[in-house]
Every structure is written in C-alpha cells, then in structure tokens.
Amino acid sequence: MSAPIRVVVADDQTAVREGLAVMLSLLDDVEVVGEAADGEQALHLVAEHQPDVVLMDLRMPRHDGIDATARIAADHPNTRVVVLTTYADDADILAALRAGALGYLTKDASRRQIAHAVRAAAADQSVLDPQVQRRLVAAAGQLTAATPGAGAVSRTGPTDKLPASDLPDGLTTREADVLRLIAEGLSNREIAGRLYISEATVKSHINRLFAKTGVRDRAQAVRYAYQHRLTNHT
C-alpha cells in the first residue's frame, strides 16, 4: 500500500479548519499532519512536516493565503497548494494561481470535490471549481480581447487543423492537442486514451509545452490555452 497523502489544513476559522481536518482524516489515503490558524503558522508547519498538499484559505492573519502560497511554492516546490476559500473573484483567482496554487475551490465544494482536489494535487494535477473555471476563462478572454496581436491565434476549429507555423511559442501540433485537452480538464491517462498514445508520451509533451510556454502548472496551462484560443471554445 502506498504512503498516505500528507496534508496541512490552513484556515483561521476554527470550526472550518477542524471540520476539514476530521473529514480528510476519514479518508484511507490521507493523513492530516498539521492545522494552521494563520499564514505564518502554515509556513512553519510546511517547513516542519513537508506535506504533500496544503489546503489553504485566502483570508488569514499573519500572511494571507496568497502570500503563504507564493512562499511555499518558492521554498517547498514538492508541496502543492489547493486554495479553499469563500472568495471567487477574478483578482483572487488569478493572484492565487500566479502565486503557485495548483487547485482552487470555493467553500461550497462538496466533500467529494475536496477529496478529489487533494488527491489530484498530490498527483501534480490541477483541479478548479467549475465556477472558478468559468471566471478564469472569462478573464482570459477579456485579456485576449484587450491585447490584439499579442500572439493570440484566431481559430474556430480543433488545433489539429492549424499548421504548426500558426501556433504560438513554437508549439508543435501534437503539443497543442495535449494543451487543448488539458484545458478541457482531462487527466494524463484520459489524454493518452483520446490521442492513442502512452501516458509517458503525454508527460513528455507536457514537459516540452510547459518549457516552451513558460507555464508552471496545469492551471496556468488552462489560462494560456484560452488566451491563445487553443481550445474548442470560441
């Protein structure tokens, strides 16, 4: 049996923090190794326990969640952060993702969604609340519309109909296909099945397209795909 996913829960509301800790502790594959009441305590617990995942609130004293996330991403790159917050405005979403959060959920997420997000983050996969995904897409669309000619590709069909010369940042057609499927929320295994390639090949494509585009994680890849219109949504 594989080692459990080690989690730190950070939330300044005691009832919420303790409830999340109890809920996660009931999962066979999760171990809660610490509970933080503020951002500073979260940083200390991450340094002490080196958890796989931090479930992070945004509005906390002594370092808010965005600042704490940025510090964790810089100092503890093997620890993934999933934001769980009441707030889902564009500024908070983009700030959290830029800081390095791998997932973003609102507090009306179900237990199943939270558990899935923690497991996905531990596997280095991004999970965005559907509401957050819609807002991120809208914000990316507004940014693209506001900056015409900034490398966006005008398209209405699948990326496999675009010649490689029309793709941004030197992406190949296959890398663009993988990026499009990431934006649709598919896992590496699902992408492999859709494109009839191995998971190892999917990972190689992802590593190359991340290096070419400068994105650090799947959440940033989603934003990049929509900014450059490399999805099946106009």
Residue 109 to residue 85: CA distance in whole angstroms? 10
Question: What mean pLDDT comes out for the span 151-172?
Answer: 56
pLDDT value, residue 31: 96
Question: What mean pLDDT comes out for the span 94-107?
Answer: 83
pLDDT digits (tens, 9 = 90+) for 52-63: 999 999 888 888
pLDDT value, residue 139: 54
Domain boundaries, the chain: 5-137, 173-228
Q: Domain 5-137 falls in which CATH fold?
A: Rossmann fold (3.40.50)
Tokens of 96: 């959290």
Q: Which residues contact 173 (CB under 8 A, 6 or more apart)?
A: 159, 160, 162, 163, 164, 167
Q: Domain 173-228 falls in which CATH fold?
A: Arc Repressor Mutant, subunit A (1.10.10)
pLDDT value, residue 232: 65
The dihedral over CA atoms of 150, 187, 65, 70, expressed in degrees to the nearest 10, equals -60
The dihedral over CA atoms of 29, 35, 38, 40, expressed in degrees to the nearest 10, equals -90
Q: Which residues contact 119 (CB under 8 A, 6 or more apart)?
A: 5, 29
Place of tokens 């409830």: 19
Tokens of 123: 């596997």
Question: Is pLDDT at 145 greater than 70 in this prediction?
Answer: no
Question: Is pLDDT at 196 greater than 80 in this prediction?
Answer: yes
Residue 177 to residue 12: CA distance in whole angstroms? 42
Three-state secondary structure call for residue 53: strand
pLDDT value, residue 226: 81
Q: What is the mean pLDDT of the chain?
A: 82
pLDDT value, residue 185: 78
* DSSP 8-state class, residue 27: S
pLDDT value, residue 135: 62
Question: Is pLDDT at 21 greater than 90 in this prediction?
Answer: yes
154-163: long-range contacts, CB 8 A cutoff, minimum separation 24 = 154/229, 155/229, 155/230, 156/234, 157/232, 158/232, 159/230
Question: What mean pLDDT comes out for the span 192-204?
Answer: 86
Question: Cα 213 to chain center, whole Å?
Answer: 16
pLDDT digits (tens, 9 = 90+) for 114-129: 999 999 889 888 777 7
Residue 145 to residue 123: CA distance in whole angstroms? 34
132: nearest Cα among 101, 161, 90, 171: 90
Q: Which residues contact 97 (CB under 8 A, 6 or more apart)?
A: 104, 136, 219, 220, 223
Prediction pTM value: 0.63
Question: Is pLDDT at 32 greater than 60 in this prediction?
Answer: yes
Instruction: State the pLDDT confidence band at 220, using cuts at 50, 70 and 90.
Output: confident
12: nearest Cα among 60, 58, 46: 60
